[in-house]
Every structure is written in structure tokens, then in C-alpha cells.
A and B are shown apart, each in its own frame.
Chain A
Amino acid sequence: MRIEEETSTVAGLPAEPEKATLEGKNKILGFWLFIAAETTLFATMFGTYLALKGESLAGPTPGELYSLPMVAAATLILLTSSLTSVLAIMAMHRNDAPGMIRWFGITILLGVAFLGLEAYEFYEYVHEGHTFTSSAFGSSFYLLLGTHGSHVLYGVFWILALMIQGRQRGITVQTAPKFYVASLYWHFVDVVWVFIFTVVYLMGMME
């Protein structure tokens, strides 16, 4: 730990600043484990949704409810934001703090756009009688989608806070692991959405 700290100050910023210190390595490994835990959390909610999606009672069924264009747009937006977060990390590896902040900014703007679409979608569903309490289908749908949406929302604020830190302190061996971990989080949230798109929407519309 001591030796690594010294080299980082002597030789400037190392090639992979996020893994240059033991703290950074710990943070990244710990975050991967956290993602594993989150995966089980979402798996449980997916399982519950699959078990209950047929129970829509008097309300609309999945096939009647979902409309592809809007969901496809949301998917496209979120996948693009994954790409921009990669570009942010690439900028970080070039030690280009303004570039990184710019790409992170675009990422969270796309995230906000996604949330806007989702809010609009939920608004329409509620008008069609599909609510959190309308049926077991509704409960399990909003639990899964709501948990994902709140992850996106949290990610937006988190990355915003990191952008401010990037402005104040630039890219150092202390801040780099934070940026890296936040981009991991963003990728994870996107991957969960890919599963939601497939399992909830595509499979729901095929019925």
C-alpha cells in the first residue's frame, strides 16, 4: 500500500488510476460483489413477476397494455447512455477531466430522458386501470420497474455529485475508483433494463 502510494505521486497518474491503490482495488471488488447481490435482488423480483403476471383480474393484461414504440425508444436511450458512460471512462484513462465530465453529463441527461418516458408510460397505465394495487400483476410489475427506475434516479444524482467532485479535484487515484465504480453501476442498471425489455415487454407482447 505504502509503495504504491509513493509511485503514484512520483510518476504522476498511472495508466489505470482506479486500480492504483489498495483502496481503489478494494472498492472495485466490493462493488462487483454488490452487483452480484443486486442481481439476486432483481432475480427475486423477476421471479415474482413471472409468477404473477397472469393475474391481472379485471384490469388490462400485459398483451393489451404494452406498446412497443415507446419502450423501444426508452431502451435505445438507456443503451446509448451506457455507451456515453464508457466514453467517460475512456476520457478518464486519457486523464482528460473535462471530457470525462462532459460524457458523464450526457449520460445523466439520457438517464433523465429515460425516466421522463417511464413516468409518462406509468401515467398512461394508471389511466388504463393498471396500478400498484389493481392486481397481483400490477403489484409485481411496479415493484420490478419501480426498483429499476429508482436505481436510475439514484444513479443520476450519484453521477451528478461525482461530476462536481471531478470539477473540484480532477482525476486522482482517490477519485478515479469512484468514477469507475459509478460507470459499473450504470452498466448494471442498463443490463437489468435489457432483461426487463426482454422478459417483461417482448415476452408480454407475444402473448
Chain B
Amino acid sequence: MATIIILIVFGLFLAAILTGGYNKKYLERVQQNWLWEWITTVDHKKIGVLYLTAGGFFFTVGGLEALLIRLQLMFPDNRFIVGDQYNQLMSMHGTTMIFLVALPLLFGLMNVIVPLQIGARDVAFPFLNSLGFWLYFSGGLLLNLSWLFGGAPDAGWTSYATLALNEFSPGPGVNYYVLGLQIAGIGTLISGINFLVTIINMRAPGMSYLRMPLFTWTTFVTSALILFAFPPLTAGLFMMMFERLFDTNFFTTHGGGNVTIWQHIFWIFGHPEVYILVLPAFGVFSEVISTFSRKRLFGYNSMVFAVVLIGFLGFMVWVHHMFTVGLGPVANTIFAVATMAIAVPTGIKVFNWLATMWGGSLRFTTAMLYAAGFIVMFVIGGVTGVMLGVVPADWQFHDTYFVVAHFHYVIIGGTLLGILAGVYYWWPKIFGRMLSEKWGRWNFWFFYPGVHLTFFPQHFLGLYGMPRRVFTYPSGYGLELNNLLSSLGTILMTIGLLFFLYNAVWSLTKGPRAESDPWDGRTLEWAISSPPPEYNFAQLPKIRSLDPWWAEKREGNRGMQPAEPLGPIHMPSSTYLPFVMAIGFFISGIGFVFHSVRVGVLGLLIVIVTLFIRSFQEDEGFHIHPEEEVKGT
């Protein structure tokens, strides 16, 4: 009870400050603070930067966890991190990298770039965009607070029932997993809907679906996958939460429950999640390869078709994660065939990328190096994926380091290289300054070989029979060398990423100013200044072909042709409500983690009250008059 009173008093205090009832001067000082601007922003470009920053922060955390894991596994019979501590580390490494790093970093790029690529002034729902970010951030924070209060989740990133139930994981760890992911997942779903509506409704005149850049297309398909993949996860997390907090019987066998229900639900979400992560990276590479080959993307239509087909097939293969469960030969065969079918559209894409480079005038910038490195790495990951799709072979590979090697080749080779390529490519547009190509090369030539050195030997470890998720291994089974090599590889990766960090800091402090079109680009975002003005386009552009900016440049035009006369531009006003709502969810999460239903409900009440305040608000926004500014330039 006392905690509730304290929380209510604290909430009223905050409300008083925010509404100016406490002290007007203090309110003004808060509002002029730079932090306040970032908390309340609804500008898609700023929210994109927030995603990149928060994703980068969690990447550091998840990376340090990986380093500790490899340090423990460097030598046989090592006693550095043992047992439950190791379980926590590897569970949090996986959960963090998948949910708090990979997708949010992609969201960062999508947020900044997609509205620019389709010629829009903002996303469809600026308020929800901000809400999506703050939910993600508070969910991630909640998850990571587990390190300080009560212990981290220790049932793996898949958190399979039985292992994740109270009996085998008694601490609050898995509660953090369930509630952190629930909150972050709602944010992801909101963002997915936002991108879909933006792309469907807000394209500039003439921007037909088959004139959309590939990155916009992949964002579109990824958002559709989010729409159908995250709600099952939400349902599953609810079940897991009730199972742990209120002793329900969804998964408990002696109560009539069934443990495979969690597995089905998790993988109905989990396999599409793989494509949610990798499709946007495909989009980045399509842009980068086309720009730096100075050629139109080869087979644009087949690329679009392949993306849609991969997205569709992605929902029909989840059982390939459950071949050893014993669902019978019919189920296993159907899902094995569907799994291998995905190799066809993926193969189409690989050949299209190669054909785009063929005969182009190639420029190997850092972004292009990452794109070329991706093709090699992703093909290896794809081949091991088909190997894992063969059911009898899968029974041998299952839960060994072969699987670990496979999915790191796919997720690092696809998603992470895609994020790095995208960051190098769009950095000038996002921040208005150039990254150093010299340090970019140092970054690539340490990081990329480091990835191979880390994960290639793991294929052999798996084939030799080393199971995943174990904290040590005995000597004398031929596992020493490959484990040592793997651990040494992480050091190269770390050095490579430190070069990137240095490069980023250098660019933001001393980097040369970027022009509007530093790479001789093809798509719409390169037609406006770097960084773009708040309203993106003073006049909405008229789109006349695929690669619209390239086409205008070929005709000797110095800008896009306008589709409307100059006039005042309507902008949405900043708001702190999404932040308050995220605080509500955070309080609720903390409450449920520690079995306090009252605090949990209190947090949800904050959320609902904020929702109703929002509903009653008449947000008129404000208008910008770009005439004067345009005349000045």
C-alpha cells in the first residue's frame, strides 16, 4: 500500500510539473532543455535517430554479453562463468540482440528513410511513432533491469515452457522476459501498422507501387509480417505470464496443459521474425548495390515478387524448428519442403544482385564492401539453412553449434551487415556529415574477417557434437582449437566495431558537411538537403519513373518537379503523452514482475488515463511557411 501512495504522490508531482501548476518558471526551463525536445518529438527523422541510439546502446550491452560467453568458452573446463550465470548471459544475449538491437536499428533506418523515399512529409501517425519508440525503450530497459534486481532470464531466448516455468526457473528472471517483451512487442506492432499506412496512403503523386524503391518495398512486407507475427507472440507471452504469476495450466502437464503449445506459438512468431529481420537488410543492399554500380537494379519486378513470396512462405515453415519434437513424418515432410522452397526466391535475389553489379561501374565504398561481403556470407548461411531443412540431417544438427553457426551467419551476414551498410550509406543524409571512408575500411577489414573467424569454426564444433547452450566442454574431444579460434574472432569483431565508434564520434564532431547527394544517388531522399528540413519537401515532388531522382538528373534537372504550389505546411505538435504512457507500462511491468497485481494495475491505469487524455485533446498542430526559406536558397 505504501508503495502505491508513494507512486501516486510522485505521479501527481510529475503532473504538476508538466502542467505548470507547480512552478511556471521550472516548466519553462524543462521545456527548453534539449532532452525535453527529444522526449516529446514526433518528427520521424528524430525518432529514427532515437531508435539508432537506443539500438546502439543495447548492441553494446548484448555485445559485451557475447564477449563474456566467448571468454568462458575459450578454453576447455574453464570456470570463469558457470551454470546459472552462464544461462542468464546467453539468454540475455539472444533476447537482447533479436528484440532490442536488430529490429530497432532497422526501425531507425526505416523511420528516417522511408518517408523520404516515398516523398512524404512524415509518417501517417507521428504520435504512434513516438509511442512505439518509447514502448520499445521502456520494455528493453525493464528487461535489462533484471541484471540488477533479482537475476536475468535464464531459459534461453526461446524461453521454452517447462524450463521457463516456476518449477525450473524460480526467480523473477523469466517474468522480466515476459513483461519486457510484451511491452516492447506492443511498440513493434504499433510501428508496423504505422509503416503500412504510411506506405499505402502517403506516397507522393506518381509514386506507384512499382516505382517504390526496394527498401520501401521490404519495409512494407516486413511491416505486414509484423502485423501477423507479433499478435501470436503477445498471446503466448500472456499465457506464460499467467502460468508464472497465477498458476494456470496452459503448459503444465499435470494440469492437463501441453508444452508444445508454447513451441508452436513461439515459432509461428519466431520464423516470420527471421524474415522481419532480414528483408529490410535485403532492401538496404538493393539500394547500395544499385547506387554503387551506377546501374538500375537488375530485375526490379522479380525482386519485388521475391520479397512478397518470401514474406508469404515465411509463415508456413515454423515447424522446421520442431523437427525433433515428434510431430510425425507427414508434418515434418510438408514443412521441410516449404522450407527448401524459400531458397528459390532467395536465390533469385542473389542472382539479381550479382547481375546488377555485372558490367556496372563499381565503387567500393564501405557500404558497398558490406554489401559484397553480405552476398558471400548469406549464401553460406542459406546453404546451411537448406541442410537444416533436411529432416534426418536436422536430427543430427539439432541443438548443436551447427545451428548456432547457421543463424549467426544469417542474422549477422544479413541483418547486421545490412544495418552497417545502411548506416554508412545514409549517415550523411541522417546527420548531415560524412563518415570517414578510411576508418570505414579499417572497420570493415577487422569486423568482417572477425565474423567468419568466430562463426565458421562453430560449424565444425556442431558436427563434432558440441551442444549449444552449455557453459563448458571437456578437453580431449577435438573441440579446443575451434573454440579458441571462435573466441579470437570476437576480438577482431570488437576491434572493428571500435573503429566504427571512433568514426561516428569523429564524424559528428569534426566530419565534413555532407552535400545533398554525396553518392550520386538514385532515389528521392538524395534530392533534398542533408539533413532534410523538418517538413522534408517544401513542395511534394512529382514522380515520373523508377529511380526518380536519377531520371531527373539524366534530364539535366537540378531538382524534382513539384506536384503542388508552395504553401503553408501543416505539422503535428510535439507531445509528452507517449513518454508518460511508456512510464505507465514500465510501472505496470515492474509490478507484475514482482507479483504485485496492485502496482501492475496502477501502471495500466496510467496508460488508460493517458489514452483518454489523448482522445480528448484537440491537436491542431502548427503551420510552417517555407516560401521565405526557399527563396533564400
Instruction: Tell me the A residues contacting B by CB distance below 8 Å.
Output: 1-2, 5, 22, 25-26, 29-30, 33-34, 36-38, 40-41, 43-45, 48, 51-52, 55-57, 132-140, 143, 157-158, 161-162, 164-165, 169, 174, 178
Contacts and interface: CB of A to CB of B under 8 A. Distances in A.
Chain B, interface size: which category? 35 or more
A178 B615 contact: yes
B125 A44 contact: no
Interface in B227-251: 227-228, 230-232, 234-236, 238-239, 242, 246-250
Nearest to B540: A1
Interface of A, secondary structure class, is helix
Interface of B: 124-125, 189, 193-194, 196-197, 200-202, 227-228, 230-232, 234-236, 238-239, 242, 246-250, 252, 255-258, 261, 265, 268, 564, 567-568, 570, 608, 612, 615-616, 618
Contacts of B194: 30
A136 B257 contact: yes
B239 A41 contact: no
A79 B405 CA distance: 54
Given A26-B125, A51-B258, A139-B250, A41 B235 contact: yes
A161 B618 contact: no
A203 to B, nearest CB: 19
9 contacts: A22-B202, A30-B193, A41-B231, A43-B232, A44-B232, A44-B235, A48-B265, A52-B257, A139-B248
Contact of A161 (B234, B265, B615): B615
Contacts of B261: 48, 51-52
Contacts of A25: 201
Q: Which among B124, B250, B255, B567 has the highest number of chain A CB atoms within 10 Å? A: B255
Contacts of B616: 161, 164-165
A136 B570 contact: no
Contacts of B236: 44
A135 B256 contact: yes
Contacts of A41: 231-232, 234-235
Nearest to B228: A40
Contacts of B193: 30, 33-34, 37
Contacts, number: 121
Contact of A138 (B124, B249, B268, B612): B249
Given A41-B235, A52-B250, A137-B256, 7 more contacts: A29-B201, A48-B261, A52-B258, A56-B256, A133-B249, A158-B615, A165-B616
A136 B231 contact: no
A125 B115 CA distance: 53
B197 A30 contact: yes
Contacts of A52: 250, 256-258, 261
A2 B256 contact: no
B250 A140 contact: yes
A43 B229 CA distance: 12
Nearest to A30: B197
B124 A37 contact: no
A26 B618 CA distance: 17
Nearest to A56: B256
A139 B257 contact: yes
A178 B65 CA distance: 46
Contacts of B200: 29
Contacts of A140: 250
Q: Which among A45, A51, A132, A139 has the highest number of chain B CB atoms within 10 Å? A: A139
B256 A44 contact: no
Contacts of A143: 238-239, 242, 248, 250
Contacts of A2: 564, 567-568, 570
Contacts of A45: 235
A38 B257 contact: no
A140 B239 CA distance: 9
Nearest to B565: A2
A156 B134 CA distance: 28
Contacts of A51: 258, 261
A178 B189 CA distance: 21
A184 B194 CA distance: 19
B462 to A, nearest CB: 32
A96 B41 CA distance: 38
B219 to A, nearest CB: 14
Contacts of B230: 37
A75 B89 CA distance: 50
A133 B247 contact: yes
Nearest to A31: B193
A28 to B, nearest CB: 9
A135 B255 contact: yes
A111 B418 CA distance: 50
Contacts of A162: 615
Contacts of A157: 608, 612
Given A135-B255, A136-B258, A161-B615, A22 B201 contact: yes
A170 to B, nearest CB: 13
Contacts of A137: 256
Q: Which among A1, A30, A38 has the highest number of chain B CB atoms within 10 Å? A: A30
Given A51-B258, A52-B256, A165-B615, A44 B197 contact: no
B232 A40 contact: yes
A177 to B, nearest CB: 12
A161 B200 CA distance: 30
A161 B616 CA distance: 8
Q: Which among B228, B246, B257 has the highest number of chain A CB atoms within 10 Å? A: B257
A102 to B, nearest CB: 21
Contacts of B612: 157, 161
Contacts of A22: 201-202
A41 to B, nearest CB: 4
B616 to A, nearest CB: 7
Nearest to B198: A26
Contact of A135 (B125, B201, B249): B249
Contacts of A5: 570
A136 B246 contact: no
Nearest to B189: A37
Contacts of B227: 33, 36-37, 40
Nearest to B226: A37
A138 B257 CA distance: 10
A41 B182 CA distance: 13
Contacts of B235: 41, 44-45, 48
Contacts of B202: 22, 26
- Which 5 A/B pairs are nearest by Cβ-Cβ distance? A55-B256, A136-B256, A41-B231, A44-B235, A139-B248
B189 to A, nearest CB: 6
A51 B124 CA distance: 39
A168 B376 CA distance: 63
A192 B616 CA distance: 28
